[in-house]
C-alpha cells in the first residue's frame, strides 16, 4: 500500500498535510469511526478522499449540498479519479445505469443526497458494492439541535445496516458541543475518535461596528486595496446595486448570486481570483468551491441568521495565514429587519400543509404518486396565482426541501439574456421591413442600455406588459430575430425546478414532521438572539465569544478585535489622546468627520465623542462646509 503522503503529492501536488488531516486519515485506515470537526478551509474532503483511494472499493459520500457534490465530483474527475454523483430529476433508466457504473465501473466515489437512501433501488445497489468508507459531509445536519437539521439524514443508518463493518467518517465545520454529541449518537458511531482544530484564527481580526453610513465605511476599508475582498449581502438586487456603486467609487467590483448562469458565475469567480476585480459582492450562494486563500476582508452589511453561518462565511478571510479582517456592519434598524426576515416570516404548520397541497394541485399530482417527478417552476407566477406571501412561501419551500419532501433547485428571478449582433443601422432597416421586429425591438432598446455591447438580462414579462402583448408572442418574435442572427438569445421561461422526493400523501406526509416544523420558528429566534448578543456585547473579546459558542475555551483575548481595541483605548485615557491627534491634524487644514475617521486609527464613535467634547469646550469650531478647525 502507498502512503497517504504519496497520494497527496500525486493528485493534490502538496508535500505536507494541514493540521489534523494525516491523523484523521490514519484513523480511518485503521477501520475506525471518525469525527472531523475542522473549521471552514480546514481541508475536510481530503480526510476521506485519500484513505478511500488507498483502500479497495468505493467511498459513499452523503451530502445535502447539490452544488458542492457536483463541484467535488468535477474536481476529482479532473484529477483522473473516477467519481460520480446521482443528481435529482433523472429517469429510472438513467438512475439504474449510474448505479450499475458505481457497482462495476471501478469508481472510487459515489456522491448521494440523504433522500436518495430511502429508494429501494439505491439500497439494493449499495448491497452489491464493495464499500470501503461512508463519509457524511455536513454531519451536523442529523442533529435536531443543528443549524441545518435535515430529518432525511436519519436515512443514513440504512448503510450501517447494509455494511455494518464499514467505518464512518463524520465531517463538519460548525458544530457546538451539544450538536457534536447528538451527531455521534444519531449516526450510531462506535467509539469514534474526535479530531478537531481550534476555532481560534490568530490571523483573523473580528470587528463589529454600528455605523450610519455602511457604504462610506466600506469605501474607507477598501479604497486603494488591491487584494481580494468579499462583501456579503442578503439579496440579489442589493449585490448588483452595491457592486455598481463601489465600481463607480473606484473600487473594482463585481457581483455573484444564484440567479446567474453557471458560465457567468465561473467567469466572475475567475475574474475575482485573478485580481481583475478586487471585490466580490455576493449573496450566500458564493461560498462553495472558492479555494482562494488571499482574501483580506470579509464584510457583512446585514445581520446573519446564525453564528454558525457567520463564522463559516467570515472564515473565508485569511486562509493563507496572513492578517485579515472579518467585519460586521449594522444599524439599529437592522435588528428589527432581521427579526422580520428570519423569525416572523417563518411559516406555521398549517401554512406548510396548505403550501404542500397547493404545490401538488398546481402540478396536478394524483394522491399516492409523484415520487421523484421533476417539474419546471416559476416562483413569482405561483405566488401570484394563489395570492401567497412570497417571503413566507419561500421559507416554506426551503423547509419542505430541508425536511426531504421535495428538492428545490432555485434560480429565482432568472432573466433571459439578449444581445444585438448587428449595427444599429442594420437593425433599423430590419425594423422597417418587419413591424413585429420594430415593436419588440424598439421597446427593448428603450428599456435596456448597452444591449448592443454586452449580453443583457431581459425581463420578458415586463416587456410583454409594456406592450400589452402576450408573453408567448414576445418570445416568438425574439426567437425569429435570433434565427435571422439579429440578436443572441438565451431564453429562460422558468426560474426554478422542483423534484418531489416522496409520493403525495398530503397530511400523512407532513403530520410526522409537525413537531419539527413548529420548532423551526423557535430555533430561528434562538439563533438570532445569539447573533444579537454577539453584536451588542462590547465588553468581551469577539474571538472569545465565538470560540466559547463552539465549546472551546480560549485562554486570552485576541487583542485585535474591535472590542479588544476599544477596551485598550478606554484604559489609556484615550479621549485625551484622541483629542490631541485631532487637534494636530486640523491645525494643518480643516477636516470633516469622515476625513478624520479615515485618517485616524480609532473607533468611529470615540472620534465623534471626542469631537463633541472639543466643540463643547470651545477648542474647535465648524465652518460653513461642516469642517472642523482650530480657533
d(CA 315, CA 140): 18
Q: Which among 196, 226, 248 is the end of a domain? A: 196
In total, how many domains does the chain have?
5
Q: Which among 196, 220, 236 is the end of a domain? A: 196
pTM: 0.71
Report if residue 548 sits inside a domain: no
291: three-class secondary structure by DSSP = coil
Q: Write down the pLDDT at residue 360.
A: 95
The pLDDT tens digits of the residues spanning 385-416 come to 999 998 899 899 988 988 889 888 765 556 78
Between 103-107, 306-310, 591-595, the lowest mean confidence (pLDDT) is in 591-595
- The long-range contacts involving 288-291, CB below 8 angstroms and separated by at least 24 positions, are 288/65, 288/67, 288/68, 288/71, 289/67, 289/68, 289/71, 289/75, 290/316
Q: What is the mean pLDDT of residues 487-516?
A: 86
8 and 115 assigned to the same domain: yes
62 and 161 assigned to the same domain: yes
pLDDT at 555 over 80: no
For the record, the C-alpha cell of 267 comes out as 467567469
Q: What is the mean pLDDT of residues 506-532?
A: 91
377 and 429 assigned to the same domain: no
Measured N-to-C along each axis, helices 435-447 and 460-467 cross at an angle, to the nearest 10 degrees, of 120
Q: Which residue has the cell 433599423?
A: 428
Q: Write down the pLDDT at residue 152.
A: 79
pLDDT at 326 over 50: yes
Q: Write down the pLDDT at residue 301.
A: 96
Report if residue 102 sits inside a domain: yes
401 and 423 assigned to the same domain: no
Between 163-177, 239-253, 461-475, the lowest mean confidence (pLDDT) is in 461-475
Q: Which of 545, 536, 295 is closest to 287 using CA atoms?
A: 295
604 and 625 assigned to the same domain: yes
423 and 356 assigned to the same domain: no
Between the alpha carbon of residue 244 and those of residues 132, 454, 455, the distances in Å are 50, 16, 17
At 277, which CATH number? 3.40.50.300
Q: Write down the pLDDT at residue 89.
A: 64
pLDDT at 90 over 80: no
CB 538 within 8 A of CB 566: yes
At 617, which CATH number? 1.10.10.10
pLDDT at 226 over 60: yes
Confidence of residue 332 (pLDDT cuts 50, 70, 90): very high
455 and 436 assigned to the same domain: yes
438 and 399 assigned to the same domain: no
Q: Which helix (H) or strand (E) holds 373?
A: strand 373-377
Q: Write down the pLDDT at residue 617.
A: 82
d(CA 430, CA 420): 12
Report percent pLDDT > 90 for the chain. 50
pLDDT at 39 over 90: no
For the record, the C-alpha cell of 353 comes out as 400543509
DSSP 591: B
Report if residue 540 sits inside a domain: no
Q: Which helix (H) or strand (E) holds 305?
A: none
At 367, which CATH number? 1.10.10
Q: What is the mean pLDDT of residues 87-95?
A: 77
Between 140-144, 397-401, 541-545, the lowest mean confidence (pLDDT) is in 140-144
Report if residue 114 sits inside a domain: yes
Report percent pLDDT > 70 for the chain. 95
Q: Which among 177, 196, 215 is the end of a domain? A: 196
310 and 225 assigned to the same domain: yes
Q: Which domain holds residue 149?
A: 4-196
Q: What is the mean pLDDT of residues 485-500?
A: 82
269 and 383 assigned to the same domain: no
The pLDDT tens digits of the residues spanning 425-438 come to 899 999 999 999 99
Report if residue 542 sits inside a domain: no
Q: Write down the pLDDT at residue 572.
A: 47
d(CA 267, CA 166): 41
261 and 387 assigned to the same domain: no
Report if residue 442 sits inside a domain: yes
Q: What is the mean pLDDT of residues 151-157?
A: 84
pLDDT at 334 over 80: yes
Q: Which residue has the cell 435588528?
A: 335
CB 171 within 8 A of CB 136: yes
pLDDT at 368 over 70: yes
Q: Write down the pLDDT at residue 444.
A: 93
Between 16-20, 50-54, 602-606, the lowest mean confidence (pLDDT) is in 602-606
Report if residue 252 sits inside a domain: yes
d(CA 367, CA 362): 13
Residue 336: exposure state from Cβ atoms within 10 A (0-12, 13-18, ≥19): exposed
Chain CA centroid to CA 275, Å: 21
Which residues, other chains included, contact 501 with Cβ-Cβ below 8 Å and sequence gap of 6+? 115, 371, 372, 404, 405, 406, 407
Which comes out higher in pLDDT, residue 314 or 552?
314
272: how many CB neighbours lie within 10 A of its CB? 25
CB 290 within 8 A of CB 316: yes
Report if residue 536 sits inside a domain: no
375 and 503 assigned to the same domain: yes
Average model confidence (pLDDT) across the chain: 88
Amino acid at each position: 500500500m502507498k502512503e497517504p503522503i504519496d497520494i497527496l503529492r500525486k493528485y493534490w501536488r502538496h508535500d505536507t498535510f494541514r493540521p489534523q488531516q494525516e491523523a484523521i486519515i490514519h484513523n480511518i485506515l485503521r477501520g475506525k469511526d471518525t469525527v472531523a470537526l475542522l473549521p471552514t478551509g480546514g481541508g475536510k474532503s481530503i480526510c476521506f478522499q485519500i484513505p478511500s483511494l488507498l483502500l479497495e472499493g468505493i467511498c459513499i459520500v452523503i451530502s445535502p449540498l447539490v452544488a458542492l457534490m457536483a463541484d467535488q465530483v468535477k474536481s476529482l474527475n479532473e484529477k483522473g479519479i473516477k467519481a460520480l454523483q446521482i443528481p435529482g430529476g433523472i429517469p429510472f433508466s438513467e438512475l439504474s445505469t449510474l448505479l450499475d457504473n458505481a457497482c462495476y465501473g471501478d469508481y472510487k466515489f459515489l456522491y448521494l443526497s440523504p433522500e436518495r437512501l430511502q429508494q429501494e433501488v439505491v439500497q439494493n445497489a449499495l448491497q452489491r458494492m464493495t464499500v470501503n468508507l461512508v463519509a457524511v459531509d455536513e454531519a451536523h445536519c442529523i442533529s435536531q439541535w443543528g443549524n441545518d437539521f435535515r430529518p432525511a439524514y436519519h436515512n443514513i443508518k440504512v448503510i450501517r445496516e447494509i455494511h455494518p463493518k464499514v467505518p464512518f467518517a463524520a465531517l463538519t465545520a460548525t458544530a457546538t458541543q451539544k450538536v457534536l454529541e447528538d451527531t455521534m449518537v444519531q449516526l450510531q458511531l462506535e467509539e469514534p475518535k474526535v479530531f478537531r482544530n481550534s476555532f481560534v484564527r490568530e490571523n483573523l481580526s473580528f470587528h463589529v461596528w454600528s455605523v450610519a453610513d455602511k457604504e462610506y465605511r466600506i469605501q474607507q476599508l477598501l479604497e486603494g486595496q488591491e487584494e481580494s475582498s468579499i462583501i456579503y449581502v442578503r439579496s440579489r438586487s442589493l449585490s448588483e446595486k452595491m457592486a455598481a456603486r463601489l465600481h463607480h467609487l473606484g473600487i473594482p467590483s463585481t457581483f455573484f448570486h444564484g440567479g446567474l448562469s453557471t458560465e457567468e458565475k465561473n467567469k466572475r469567480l475567475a475574474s475575482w481570483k485573478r485580481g481583475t476585480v478586487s471585490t466580490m459582492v455576493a449573496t450566500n450562494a458564493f461560498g462553495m468551491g472558492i479555494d482562494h486563500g488571499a482574501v483580506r476582508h470579509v464584510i457583512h452589511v446585514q445581520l446573519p441568521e446564525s453564528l454558525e453561518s457567520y463564522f463559516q462565511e467570515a472564515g473565508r478571510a485569511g486562509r493563507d495565514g496572513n492578517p485579515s479582517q472579518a467585519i460586521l456592519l449594522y444599524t439599529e434598524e437592522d435588528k428589527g429587519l432581521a427579526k422580520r426576515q428570519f423569525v416572523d416570516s417563518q411559516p406555521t404548520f398549517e401554512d406548510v400543509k396548505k403550501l404542500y397541497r397547493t404545490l401538488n394541485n398546481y402540478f396536478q399530482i394524483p394522491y399516492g404518486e409523484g415520487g421523484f417527478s421533476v417539474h419546471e417552476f416559476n416562483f413569482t407566477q405561483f405566488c401570484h396565482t394563489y395570492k401567497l406571501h412570497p417571503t413566507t412561501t419561500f421559507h416554506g419551500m426551503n423547509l419542505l426541501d430541508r425536511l426531504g419532501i421535495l428538492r428545490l433547485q432555485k434560480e429565482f428571478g432568472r432573466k433571459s439574456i439578449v444581445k444585438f449582433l448587428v449595427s444599429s443601422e442594420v437593425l433599423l432597416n430590419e425594423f422597417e421591413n418587419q413591424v413585429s421586429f420594430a415593436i419588440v425591438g424598439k421597446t427593448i432598446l428603450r428599456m435596456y442600455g448597452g444591449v448592443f455591447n454586452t449580453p443583457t438580462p431581459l425581463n420578458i414579462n415586463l416587456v410583454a406588459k409594456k406592450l400589452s402583448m402576450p408573453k408567448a408572442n414576445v418570445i416568438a418574435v425574439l426567437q425569429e430575430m435570433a434565427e435571422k442572427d439579429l440578436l443572441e438569445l438565451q431564453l429562460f421561461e422558468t426560474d426554478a425546478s422542483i423534484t418531489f422526493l416522496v409520493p403525495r400523501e398530503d397530511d400523512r406526509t407532513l403530520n410526522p414532521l409537525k413537531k419539527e416544523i413548529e420548532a423551526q420558528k423557535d430555533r430561528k429566534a434562538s439563533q438570532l438572539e445569539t447573533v444579537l448578543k454577539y453584536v451588542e456585547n462590547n465588553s468581551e473579546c469577539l474571538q472569545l465569544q465565538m470560540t466559547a459558542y463552539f465549546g472551546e475555551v480560549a485562554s486570552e483575548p485576541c487583542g485585535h478585535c474591535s472590542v479588544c481595541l476599544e477596551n485598550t483605548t478606554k484604559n489609556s485615557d484615550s479621549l485625551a489622546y484622541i483629542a490631541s491627534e485631532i487637534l494636530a491634524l486640523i491645525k494643518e487644514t480643516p477636516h470633516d468627520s469622515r476625513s478624520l475617521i479615515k485618517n485616524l486609527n480609532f473607533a468611529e464613535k470615540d472620534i465623534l465623542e471626542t469631537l463633541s467634547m472639543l466643540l463643547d469646550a470651545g477648542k474647535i469650531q465648524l465652518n460653513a462646509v461642516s469642517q472642523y478647525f482650530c480657533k
